[in-house]
Chain A
């Protein structure tokens, strides 16, 4: 299992940006698209996200599996919450005349339901498009300093760095534990019962947890022994916004403010064709 962080968009337009831009743009975008109900407006937002994603230069073949997983999860979430059930309790979907009732759950499905479901799905996909560059266009070693320069605490910022540093070795340890148990006859659970599955993972989960705790204590001591924890810390990596960074960040901030104003004025409703 390879969980090594992949730095895929290093030479692209977004790869050349200050990593703080890549962290702040998704925040702006989240503010912009939160609670947008109009499918037409969401399509515009999705086009913005697509343009942004294209600028990341992430090769499709390298993230095909990631997109397949993300799209599957998002589609299931949307179907369960707004088509099979009306868990989100959107008023417009109740008012519109139903086209049919969903089998089993009996949830009435109207054009408004389908429109809102599509809005939800596109929102999730657009957010994923804006989020992917965080995972693939920021050099793993830059994450800690980026958070630190965003005034997150030094310990938390370095914790982010450490997470990426220890992901590969934790995965390697887990593989060794699985191997150590396989030679004693352990096999992956073949049951659909989630509780039984959980219990049968004990031979892997317990050693992994114990080893991780021991390793974490050793690493914490090793960091203390190299002076970690002082109030003032230099980050060798220098970060500086350039004109393109300001322009990109400013555009997304303006986009967020504009949509926020649009939503506050109350003109955003579920679009029913």
Chain B
């Protein structure tokens, strides 16, 4: 037994909060274990317990039995545990310390004091196995997101651990890069290793055949067993389950009245006319023609580094086109400065921590409107409205709280409120739900879409785009390769073999259950698709 955790409890000394209550986990060679549960349920603490960060780095009281590699974890240092438990963090950029890929891979074995010849042999072996041998001489700061994650994984494997614990590997990766990483992880398990993976995007993990699942809520085990049992018991509103599972459990799916959204016909809000965009001499997007309407919900999909953010950052003049023309509300963007554009586009960046700097939420909310020259009365009014839209006004004493004391989910909603306080007509969201569980994602998107009619958002989550957008734009190879409604895209099978995207079970279900172009007029395929639960109910009668 590599990992033997029985009845483990963890209470952090810094907060006094008990985050694990009698959790069990057993991992043997050949095990591929999925750990799922809503944000804050204790998944990360469980991983920290396995790799020794709890209690060695995060001071905590631990009770119960925690044995790693056949010895009590508490008796082993983090360094000793690192030869048994390899850890892959959610953000590889924080894990990679070498200036080149080769020095990065050498880091762990160097710390173990291994002879140089053995270090070199290990690097060659792992680089070949993971498929990064061609990257060895590359500086790490030049790697793409997907390459970084593979290098970080190789850096873990080169320590030759018995088990690898992985924290949300898909949160920052496009589906293609995510599949490559999970494939490498599967091969590691097949070669005699073991893996424990925390992940919200359950469906993508299922393709790699995890044998066991642990589902947690509020620090307690709600389910522990095989995958089929997990799929049968996981709460449908909290875990994004494969469509086939939704069909099988159609009887228990809640009714969700989703007002249908007809096709949008509003005026142009953001138009790109033969626009090329880039940084310095590097062109990221070529000859782009696109016209986004003033009442549309638009999702922008594409692989890491494809130019999704570049496309939308140009809307607020964070970069200028190298050629072509951008029009905002029909006028050339060059006539507007970034501040004036902030009243048209409320741009929300992925990391809330990059925006928050004030001592209180009230001051934070006032920053934008004050820059627009609004009076204290106007500022107070827009602040109240923005907080109410994002349901943050229900938090006691929210206005006087320091922004950094809010939970991560609340901080995300606050950053949207900061943009709304500028009273924009369109919200632009960069990866708004990365790393969030289904319930948090649903609540967040419900609030955002209820607050403003026009939203353009960048995402890697195909199902989020399919279910929440009127229109999907796919960027790949420096060009817009698709621009259509969710239903139209679902029926375009050739799209899903390229563009770094991956066809989900929901996409297949739309194709199977909603009529295609041949069966209906093109106009009928515009607009939002029915909620997956409604589709699943209809699928119960239609699918074989």
- The stretch among B77-85, B204-212, B442-450, B482-490 that forms the contact with chain A is B77-85
Instruction: Report whether over half of chain B's contact residues are helix, strand or loop; otherwise say mixed.
Output: helix
**Candidate in A162, A185, A207, A214 with the most chain B CB atoms within 10 angstroms:** A185
**Which residue of chain B has the shortest Cβ distance to A215 in the bound complex?**
B94
Q: Are B357 and A206 in contact (CB under 8 A)?
A: yes
Q: Are B422 and A184 in contact (CB under 8 A)?
A: yes
**Which residue of chain B has the shortest Cβ distance to A168 in the bound complex?**
B141
Indicate the size class of the contact surface on chain B: 35 or more
**Which residue of chain B has the shortest Cβ distance to A222 in the bound complex?**
B95
Mask of B45-83 contacts with A, CB within 8 angstroms, 1/0 = 000000111001100000000000000000000110011
**Which residue of chain B has the shortest Cβ distance to A179 in the bound complex?**
B318
Q: Are A238 and B318 in contact (CB under 8 A)?
A: no
Which of B51, B78, B116 is in CB contact (< 8 Å) with A236?
Answer: B116
B407 interface hit (Cβ, 8 Å): no
**Which residue of chain A has the shortest Cβ distance to B52 in the bound complex?**
A225
Q: Are B113 and A230 in contact (CB under 8 A)?
A: yes
Indicate the size class of the contact surface on chain A: 35 or more
Contacting residues of chain A (221-239) with chain B, CB-CB under 8 angstroms: 221-230, 232-238
List the interface of chain A (C-beta within 8 A of B). 4, 140-141, 158, 161-162, 164-165, 168-169, 173, 176-177, 179-187, 202-204, 206-207, 210-211, 214-215, 218-219, 221-230, 232-238
Asked whether A234 and B119 contact (CB < 8 A) given A179-B349, A229-B79, the answer is yes
Q: Are B97 and A223 in contact (CB under 8 A)?
A: yes
Minimum CB–CB distance from A266 to chain B (whole Å) comes to 48
Number of A-B contacts (CB under 8 A): 162
Minimum CB–CB distance from B491 to chain A (whole Å) comes to 36
Q: Are A226 and B99 in contact (CB under 8 A)?
A: no
Q: Are A230 and B318 in contact (CB under 8 A)?
A: no
| Separation of A225 and B94 alpha carbons in the complex (Å) | 12
Contacting residues of chain B (287-304) with chain A, CB-CB under 8 angstroms: none
Q: Are A184 and B367 in contact (CB under 8 A)?
A: yes
CB-CB under 8 A from A164, the residues of chain B are 99
| Separation of A182 and B371 alpha carbons in the complex (Å) | 10
CB-CB under 8 A from B357, the residues of chain A are 181, 202-204, 206-207
B189 interface hit (Cβ, 8 Å): no
Q: What are 15 pairs between A and B in contact, CB < 8 Å?
A: A140-B99, A158-B97, A165-B141, A173-B354, A177-B354, A177-B355, A182-B338, A183-B419, A185-B367, A206-B357, A210-B353, A225-B87, A226-B111, A235-B110, A237-B103
Q: A184-B422, A225-B86, A236-B103 are in contact. List 13 more A-B contacts (CB 8 A).
A: A183-B346, A183-B347, A184-B371, A185-B339, A185-B368, A207-B353, A207-B355, A221-B57, A222-B97, A225-B87, A230-B111, A234-B114, A237-B103
Q: Are A161 and B422 in contact (CB under 8 A)?
A: no
Q: Are B97 and A162 in contact (CB under 8 A)?
A: yes
CB-CB under 8 A from B372, the residues of chain A are 185
| Separation of A234 and B114 alpha carbons in the complex (Å) | 6
Which of B96, B120, B418 is in CB contact (< 8 Å) with A184?
Answer: B418
Mask of B107-118 contacts with A, CB within 8 angstroms, 1/0 = 111111111100
Q: Are B371 and A165 in contact (CB under 8 A)?
A: no
Q: Are A181 and B51 in contact (CB under 8 A)?
A: no
Q: Are B318 and A219 in contact (CB under 8 A)?
A: no
Q: Are A161 and B83 in contact (CB under 8 A)?
A: no
CB-CB under 8 A from A215, the residues of chain B are 94
| Separation of A224 and B57 alpha carbons in the complex (Å) | 9
Q: Are B116 and A238 in contact (CB under 8 A)?
A: yes
Minimum CB–CB distance from B317 to chain A (whole Å) comes to 9
Q: Are B97 and A221 in contact (CB under 8 A)?
A: no
CB-CB under 8 A from B103, the residues of chain A are 141, 236-237
Q: Are A226 and B159 in contact (CB under 8 A)?
A: yes
| Separation of A154 and B357 alpha carbons in the complex (Å) | 35
| Separation of A211 and B351 alpha carbons in the complex (Å) | 10
Asked whether A169 and B93 contact (CB < 8 A) given A207-B355, A233-B110, the answer is yes
**Which residue of chain B has the shortest Cβ distance to A141 in the bound complex?**
B99
Q: Are B111 and A221 in contact (CB under 8 A)?
A: no
Which of A161, A184, A225 is in CB contact (< 8 Å) with B342?
Answer: A184
B316 interface hit (Cβ, 8 Å): yes
Q: Are B111 and A228 in contact (CB under 8 A)?
A: yes
| Separation of A164 and B422 alpha carbons in the complex (Å) | 39
Contacting residues of chain B (390-423) with chain A, CB-CB under 8 angstroms: 404, 418-419, 422
CB-CB under 8 A from A203, the residues of chain B are 357, 367
B540 interface hit (Cβ, 8 Å): no
CB-CB under 8 A from B371, the residues of chain A are 184-186
**Which residue of chain A has the shortest Cβ distance to B350 in the bound complex?**
A176
Q: Are A219 and B94 in contact (CB under 8 A)?
A: yes
| Separation of A53 and B149 alpha carbons in the complex (Å) | 40
Contacting residues of chain B (114-171) with chain A, CB-CB under 8 angstroms: 114-116, 119-120, 139-141, 155-156, 159
Minimum CB–CB distance from A11 to chain B (whole Å) comes to 16
Q: Are B342 and A230 in contact (CB under 8 A)?
A: no
Which of A179, A210, A221, A225 is in CB contact (< 8 Å) with B313?
Answer: A179
| Separation of A168 and B148 alpha carbons in the complex (Å) | 15
B516 interface hit (Cβ, 8 Å): no
**Which residue of chain B has the shortest Cβ distance to A184 in the bound complex?**
B368
Minimum CB–CB distance from A147 to chain B (whole Å) comes to 14
| Separation of A186 and B358 alpha carbons in the complex (Å) | 13
CB-CB under 8 A from B89, the residues of chain A are 218, 222
Minimum CB–CB distance from A148 to chain B (whole Å) comes to 10
| Separation of A141 and B98 alpha carbons in the complex (Å) | 7
Minimum CB–CB distance from A28 to chain B (whole Å) comes to 27
Q: Are A227 and B82 in contact (CB under 8 A)?
A: yes
